[in-house]
Structure 1
Amino acid sequence: MKESGFSFIETIIACTILCSVIGFVVPIFRSEAFNETRVQLQEDARELAQNQMENVLARPISKLKPGHQVEQIHSPNQPKQEFSLHTSVKQESDHLLVLEVKVEWTPSPTSSKKADYTLHTYRFIEGL
């Protein structure tokens, strides 16, 4: 009597090939999805960092809230100063990002509460 279907060895070989293909293809899709999410989080973080800098740099350094560590990089005698700010930013997706943001800050005249700044660079310290 002849058995129908695959033999045990053929089944093992087919399963091995299938597992190899899945093991190779699935990480590629996961990687692309992860990278897209990471890029979106970085773009969101950049926007949040800019908003944060507007709020922080509009105040005198002496009146910054605890947790905003501002390190002055250039001499205070120069009209433009560069600062490094460590700040935490919480996104809608509940990702907590700790950023180091470097800005160039031109102090405004005393009559104005705004500061003119340029965002140079930012980098993630923690969070992704």
Structure 2
Amino acid sequence: ELYTKIQSLPEAKREEIEGDIGEVYSARPELAMVNSSRGITHLHVPSDVIIDATMPVIVRDGGRTWGPDNELHDTIAMIPDRSYSTIYQATIEDCQKHGAFDPSTIGSVSNVGLMAQKAEEYGS
């Protein structure tokens, strides 16, 4: 949303803001990427950050997520909702104690639900 909004600014102002954002990126911890090959962060598309879609992938990838260099990096997930954070913390601790989940022994469940934008009822 941020990048979409600044597109309507005069070019000089937009470039100034993009430069400031770049400086912050270089001085602060890296952001997880929505699409690392295209350089798209969660700031570009905040609606693509869906906790129940993002966290299982982070757990599956051993606590790692995609960085701007298109490589997996250790990550810290900050989840403000304790109903989600508690279950994911327990899952991560279980993986740390017992190792990664093995779908060949525990099975798997495919997500065959409809996308929220097209479904009459979310999750139906």
Comparing both structures, which one devotes a greater share of its residues to helix? 2
TM range (shorter): under 0.3
Larger proportion of strand: 1
Taking structure 1 as the reference length, the TM-score comes to 0.23
TM-score, normalised via structure 2 length: 0.23
